[in-house]
Chains A and B, each alone.
Chain A
Amino acid sequence: MTSFGRPLTRNEDPRLLRGEALFVDDVELPGLLHAAFLRSPHAHARILGIDVTAAKTRAGVLAVYTAQDLGAYWQPGPLLVPPPPIAGMEFHQRCQVPLARDKVRHVGEPVVMVVAESRYIAEDALGDITIEWEMLAAVGDLEAALAPGSVRVHDDLASNVAAKARQARGDYAAAVAKAHRVIARRFTYDRGASIPMETRGVVAQWDPRADRLTVWDTTQAPVVIRNGLASMLGLSERQVRVVAPNIGGGFGPKMMMFYPEEVLVPWVAIRLGRPVKWIEDRLEHFFSTTHERSQIHDAEIALDAQGRILGVRDVFLHDTGAYDPYGLTVPINSQCTLLGCYVVPAYDSTFTAVFTNRTLVTPYRGAGRQHGVFVMERLLDIAARELGIDLAEIRRRNFIPADAFPYDQNVIYQDFTRLSYDSGNYAPILEKALAAIGYEHFLREEQPKARAEGRALGLGLVCYVEGTGIGPYEGARVQVQSSGRISLATGIGSQGQGHGTTLAQVVAQQLGVDIRDIDVTTGDTDQFYWGVGTFASRGAVVAGSATHAAAKLVRAKILKTAAQHFECAEEDLVLAGGRVHIAGVEERTIKLGALAGLANPMRGAVTPGTEPGLEATSYFGPASGATASGVHAMIIEIDAETLRPTIRDYVVVHDCGVVINPLILAGQIHGGVAQGIGNAFFEKLAWDDQGQLLNASLADYLLPTALDVPRMVLDHTVTPSPLNPLGVKGAGEAGAIPVGALFAQALEDALQLPAKGIEILEIPLSPSRLWELLHGGD
């Protein structure tokens, strides 16, 4: 029986469960040194002078570096993702620098690097350093940052505009002219952070005899980091090995960021000729690992009397932080994902990305998609209320019909292609979700009864799409070892997604072996040279498809070699259970390991035009992303006095095409929802007027606990993607995307806010914020 599609337990678990798995901070090397960074305590200030003399003389300190000491190595980081080709767009590239030289632009920006015999001593030495600052006013508020005369984050720019792009199609003015109703609201979404349980870290070792650099890095994209570091350091890519071993959660901000520490630690390891480790502590993490989320949308929707969408217009501001190395991925995702599951005949969307004196913004699970979903779903909720249409019905009426796929949205997506939904069928997802949550029963009986008893119950229902599995490509190499075990290597990194199991299932489907006999290597550039990275819900789709292709080639080689061995036709052979035998003749059998030996003979010649070994490498590049979709429904009860909610029921119905491993998929959905709940109700980075972060600790920045995340009921529909051979779509971010809208809707319903003239148009919420809304705003 094939393992593909089955809920198999994971290959990677035993080592993790015994505490044996290698994480970056577990790397110990002889002579290891430790780095620490003096970071700006100010959000915006000029550096007038730095005195490191005392730090340099502290016992145990080996070196202290400022920007000046870096010489030609001091360069702004690369532009990681150039802006997509949208006509008429404005984009100002300002990438982060390794150490601030003239001025700092956010709290936590590194200014001085200390290298010492221990992290303890390195931190002691930070206290020895004095910096003379000229304080500047800080900008954090997006509208204030754009006001004429605002302090500028980058002095050489005319304003704090980082980018501006408009995507419009159809005639929105005409839509408004014929609309029965136009609804306009302002929506705000505030900053949050990904907070993986493992912070970032880098260990670098220069081996002068091998003439090679090895870097252990908590990155989601080791190949990109390898290429970039080689180029910066003047080394051949073959001289640099980047290893992303077990990574303790990524969620986006561990992508190929070329963070200052990532660039400096390898440099200093070469310079000092000793291995150097830097492990970000949790305090540093809050300031220096990238954030996400702040946007302000002024959106309106035009509808006919039946609630059919005629057009949407949206003008929004996006906070990109102090620098914008990741281009426009996040606001483009917001802009495109707003369209959701719906037919929107006219769409006119303009965003302005704004520089602020805050930590950089780059994609974090959902990557701007939740903002678009929030705006669209809230507009539909309000429309439903104002037009007297049921929440589910207004969505049903606007769904893209099942026979309309592929559906051209005619906007440019983050992968630079014209956004086209490859496949989908939304109505069955909605009906399943309604049935699972008990929609009719809740509205007709349960909620009225609860209200009569003085209890506040509310329901949320949100539909969404997610563009997943984007290009450009990934590759995989599958090899039969002489032991009979199969090895698979790919260039992506893993941060808990279970690639060691799902990719093994893809291989097992072709080679007829047990997944426990497949060793999967991810995140080691010496094991696989080419690749892009794990992000945008693309691992299973793109690396999975490459693996599939490589495994098919190896299957063909196995059968060919076995046919030669048995002197029979390939069609007569059966490949199963780690061996090949002649159909109907079980005793004519050979193990895969033995075949691998035959394919790599020690004497004689390998036939011209063939290759040794049972090995193949393949690449897969999808023409465009596969669009997943889903519906979340939730029933929440809130204590109307303390305003503390309890989620009573939570349903996810999801369509991510063909499922490789339902157990791992469930884990991805659960985890996404948990992060969505954090985003919606617990997590908010709070800043003061000077750009100081007020809650930089896990005691104050609140990740949801096991008591805050409910038991979830999952169901699936399957609309295979035609864009890849497996028919799969990504699922990594789906759980997180709709939850903000769901909370706003359910809490508004539970507290009967519309009857009081109150709407929830913002995320994140909290008991205190609900109290403020109930008592007249701020």
Chain B
Amino acid sequence: MSQRIAITLNVNGTAYRREVEPRLLLTDFLRHEIGLTGTHVGCEHGVCGACTILWDAAPARACLIFAVQAEGHAIHTVEGLAPAPDQLNPLQQAFQDTHALQCGYCTPGILMTMTAFLAENPAPTEHQVRDALSGNLCRCTGYQHIVDAVLLAAERAR
């Protein structure tokens, strides 16, 4: 039962080689094997969205994927968003400008969801934003400022 498998995962463009048990969740790999703790864990059953990452550019729940499955795929996390260490990307900046986060725990997952959403929907309506946001739970903000942030980021990109 102590099967261990050597894997190399590509996260934010960097290759990480580790030997892991097949049951290791991708969330735990990201957070505790390679120290990318920006991806948060809120439920470990695929509902809250805090662990949302990009899997080959599409949003996915990292808590419902085993790390061994991710070999050969491009994984992107919140740590890969900012263009430089002390900067924010336009979506992140819009989040700060509109006060779209409070405790900030759900924020990385929301940023990843919205990154994929805006790539496909550069000029969304408020309802489309809310619909796209509905797979990420936030307990602090009541969502209004998050919606404002996404709409602002879209507007600024035009």
Report A-B touching, CB under 8 Å: yes
- CB atoms of B99 and A21 under 8 A apart: no
Chain B residues with CB under 8 Å of A712's CB are 142, 144
Q: Given that A17-B96, A20-B38, A25-B37 are contacting pairs, would A673 and B142 also be in contact in the complex, using a CB cutoff of 8 Å?
A: yes
- CB atoms of B103 and A247 under 8 A apart: yes
Selected contact of A198 from candidates B32, B101, B103, B136, CB within 8 Å: B103
- Please tell me if A346 contacts chain B, counting CB pairs below 8 Å: no
Q: Could you tell me the distance in whole angstroms from the C-beta of B153 to the nearest C-beta in chain A? A: 12
- Please tell me if B68 contacts chain A, counting CB pairs below 8 Å: no
Q: How large is the interface on A (under 10, 10 to 19, 20 to 34, 35 or more residues)?
A: 35 or more
- Please tell me if A101 contacts chain B, counting CB pairs below 8 Å: no
- Please tell me if B143 contacts chain A, counting CB pairs below 8 Å: yes
Q: Given that A197-B103, A709-B143 are contacting pairs, would A13 and B96 also be in contact in the complex, using a CB cutoff of 8 Å?
A: yes
- CB atoms of A13 and B42 under 8 A apart: no
Q: Given that A196-B103, A671-B141 are contacting pairs, would A19 and B38 also be in contact in the complex, using a CB cutoff of 8 Å?
A: yes
Q: Tell me the complex Cα distance, A697–B43, Å.
A: 8
Q: Given that A674-B141, A711-B144 are contacting pairs, would A282 and B45 also be in contact in the complex, using a CB cutoff of 8 Å?
A: yes
Q: Which of B123-158 contact A (CB under 8 A)?
A: 126, 129-131, 133-147
Chain B residues with CB under 8 Å of A711's CB are 126, 144, 147
Q: Could you tell me the distance in whole angstroms from the C-beta of A609 to the nearest C-beta in chain B? A: 44
6 A-B pairs (CB sep. < 8 Å): A12-B104, A18-B38, A21-B104, A120-B24, A279-B41, A709-B143
- CB atoms of A282 and B140 under 8 A apart: no
- CB atoms of B92 and A282 under 8 A apart: no
Chain A residues with CB under 8 Å of B32's CB are 28
- CB atoms of A18 and B144 under 8 A apart: no
- Please tell me if A699 contacts chain B, counting CB pairs below 8 Å: yes
Q: Which of B40-82 contact A (CB under 8 A)?
A: 40-45, 47-48, 50, 77-79, 81-82
- Please tell me if A670 contacts chain B, counting CB pairs below 8 Å: yes
- Please tell me if B19 contacts chain A, counting CB pairs below 8 Å: no
- CB atoms of B41 and A18 under 8 A apart: no
Chain B residues with CB under 8 Å of A372's CB are none
- CB atoms of A196 and B139 under 8 A apart: yes
Identify the 5 closest CB pairs spanning chains A and B, nearest first: A19-B38, A248-B105, A496-B103, A670-B142, A16-B104
Q: Could you tell me the distance in whole angstroms from the C-beta of B89 to the nearest C-beta in chain A? A: 9
Residues of B within 8 A of A (CB): 21, 23-24, 31-32, 35-45, 47-48, 50, 77-79, 81-82, 86, 88, 92, 95-97, 99, 101-108, 111, 126, 129-131, 133-147
Q: Given that A26-B37, A198-B40, A666-B145 are contacting pairs, would A671 and B140 also be in contact in the complex, using a CB cutoff of 8 Å?
A: yes
Chain B residue at minimal CB-CB distance from A670: B142
Chain B residue at minimal CB-CB distance from A676: B142
Chain B residues with CB under 8 Å of A735's CB are 142
Chain A residue at minimal CB-CB distance from B92: A17
- CB atoms of A709 and B144 under 8 A apart: yes
Q: Given that A197-B139, A498-B102 are contacting pairs, would A18 and B42 also be in contact in the complex, using a CB cutoff of 8 Å?
A: no
- CB atoms of B131 and A707 under 8 A apart: yes
- Please tell me if A573 contacts chain B, counting CB pairs below 8 Å: no
Q: Could you tell me the distance in whole angstroms from the C-beta of A250 to the nearest C-beta in chain B? A: 8
Selected contact of A706 from candidates B103, B139, B147, CB within 8 Å: B147
Q: Could you tell me the distance in whole angstroms from the C-beta of B67 to the nearest C-beta in chain A? A: 12
- Please tell me if A14 contacts chain B, counting CB pairs below 8 Å: yes
Q: Tell me the complex Cα distance, A496–B129, Å.
A: 23
Q: Tell me the complex Cα distance, A10–B96, Å.
A: 7
- Please tell me if A239 contacts chain B, counting CB pairs below 8 Å: no
Chain A residues with CB under 8 Å of B130's CB are 706-707
- CB atoms of A281 and B31 under 8 A apart: no
Cβ contacts A468-507/B at 8 Å (1 or 0 each): 0000000000000000000000000001111000000000
- CB atoms of A18 and B81 under 8 A apart: yes
Chain B residues with CB under 8 Å of A707's CB are 130-131, 134
- Please tell me if A188 contacts chain B, counting CB pairs below 8 Å: no
Chain B residues with CB under 8 Å of A183's CB are none
Q: Tell me the complex Cα distance, A667–B144, Å.
A: 8
Chain B residue at minimal CB-CB distance from A495: B103
- Please tell me if A33 contacts chain B, counting CB pairs below 8 Å: no
Q: Tell me the complex Cα distance, A18–B102, Å.
A: 14
Selected contact of A13 from candidates B43, B95, B106, B134, CB within 8 Å: B95
- CB atoms of B139 and A14 under 8 A apart: no
Q: Tell me the complex Cα distance, A667–B82, Å.
A: 25
Chain B residue at minimal CB-CB distance from A501: B99
Chain A residues with CB under 8 Å of B138's CB are 197, 706
- CB atoms of B23 and A120 under 8 A apart: yes
Chain B residues with CB under 8 Å of A404's CB are none
Chain A residue at minimal CB-CB distance from B97: A9
Q: Given that A23-B37, A197-B50 are contacting pairs, would A667 and B140 also be in contact in the complex, using a CB cutoff of 8 Å?
A: yes
- CB atoms of B42 and A667 under 8 A apart: no
Q: Could you tell me the distance in whole angstroms from the C-beta of A21 to the nearest C-beta in chain B? A: 6
- CB atoms of A709 and B21 under 8 A apart: no
- CB atoms of A249 and B139 under 8 A apart: yes
Chain B residue at minimal CB-CB distance from A13: B96
Chain A residue at minimal CB-CB distance from B130: A706
Chain B residue at minimal CB-CB distance from A279: B41
Q: Tell me the complex Cα distance, A664–B101, Å.
A: 10
Q: Given that A120-B23, A671-B140, A699-B45 are contacting pairs, would A248 and B95 also be in contact in the complex, using a CB cutoff of 8 Å?
A: no
Cβ contacts A59-70/B at 8 Å (1 or 0 each): 000000000000
Q: Could you tell me the distance in whole angstroms from the C-beta of B155 to the nearest C-beta in chain A? A: 17
- Please tell me if A515 contacts chain B, counting CB pairs below 8 Å: no
- CB atoms of A26 and B31 under 8 A apart: yes
Q: Tell me the complex Cα distance, A293–B44, Å.
A: 26
Q: Tell me the complex Cα distance, A28–B111, Å.
A: 25
- CB atoms of B79 and A282 under 8 A apart: no
Q: Tell me the complex Cα distance, A345–B86, Å.
A: 60
Chain A residues with CB under 8 Å of B81's CB are 18
Chain B residues with CB under 8 Å of A247's CB are 103
Chain B residues with CB under 8 Å of A17's CB are 78, 82, 88, 92, 95-96, 101, 104, 107, 111
- CB atoms of A697 and B45 under 8 A apart: yes
Chain B residues with CB under 8 Å of A7's CB are 99
Chain B residues with CB under 8 Å of A673's CB are 142
- Please tell me if A246 contacts chain B, counting CB pairs below 8 Å: yes
Q: Tell me the complex Cα distance, A588–B27, Å.
A: 57
Selected contact of A19 from candidates B77, B126, B131, CB within 8 Å: B77
Selected contact of B79 from candidates A18, A196, A197, A706, CB within 8 Å: A18
Chain A residues with CB under 8 Å of B102's CB are 249, 496-498, 667, 671
Q: Tell me the complex Cα distance, A279–B141, Å.
A: 24
Chain A residues with CB under 8 Å of B131's CB are 706-707
- CB atoms of B31 and A496 under 8 A apart: no
- CB atoms of A666 and B99 under 8 A apart: yes
- CB atoms of B104 and A246 under 8 A apart: yes
- Please tell me if A642 contacts chain B, counting CB pairs below 8 Å: no
Chain B residues with CB under 8 Å of A9's CB are 96-97, 99
Q: Could you tell me the distance in whole angstroms from the C-beta of A710 to the nearest C-beta in chain B? A: 9
Chain A residues with CB under 8 Å of B129's CB are 706
- CB atoms of A705 and B99 under 8 A apart: no
- CB atoms of B144 and A197 under 8 A apart: no
Q: Which of A660-684 contact B (CB under 8 A)?
A: 663-664, 666-667, 669-675
Chain A residue at minimal CB-CB distance from B36: A19
- Please tell me if A698 contacts chain B, counting CB pairs below 8 Å: yes
Chain A residues with CB under 8 Å of B92's CB are 14, 17-18
- Please tell me if A344 contacts chain B, counting CB pairs below 8 Å: no
Chain A residue at minimal CB-CB distance from B143: A706
Interface contacts beyond A26-B37, A667-B102: sample of 17 additional A-B pairs, CB < 8 Å, sorted by A: A14-B96, A16-B107, A17-B82, A17-B107, A18-B88, A19-B78, A25-B41, A28-B35, A197-B50, A197-B103, A198-B105, A246-B105, A248-B105, A667-B145, A669-B142, A699-B45, A705-B143
Chain A residues with CB under 8 Å of B77's CB are 19
Chain A residues with CB under 8 Å of B38's CB are 18-20
- CB atoms of A664 and B99 under 8 A apart: yes
Q: Tell me the complex Cα distance, A54–B22, Å.
A: 24
- Please tell me if A703 contacts chain B, counting CB pairs below 8 Å: yes
- CB atoms of B40 and A248 under 8 A apart: yes
Chain B residues with CB under 8 Å of A10's CB are 96, 99
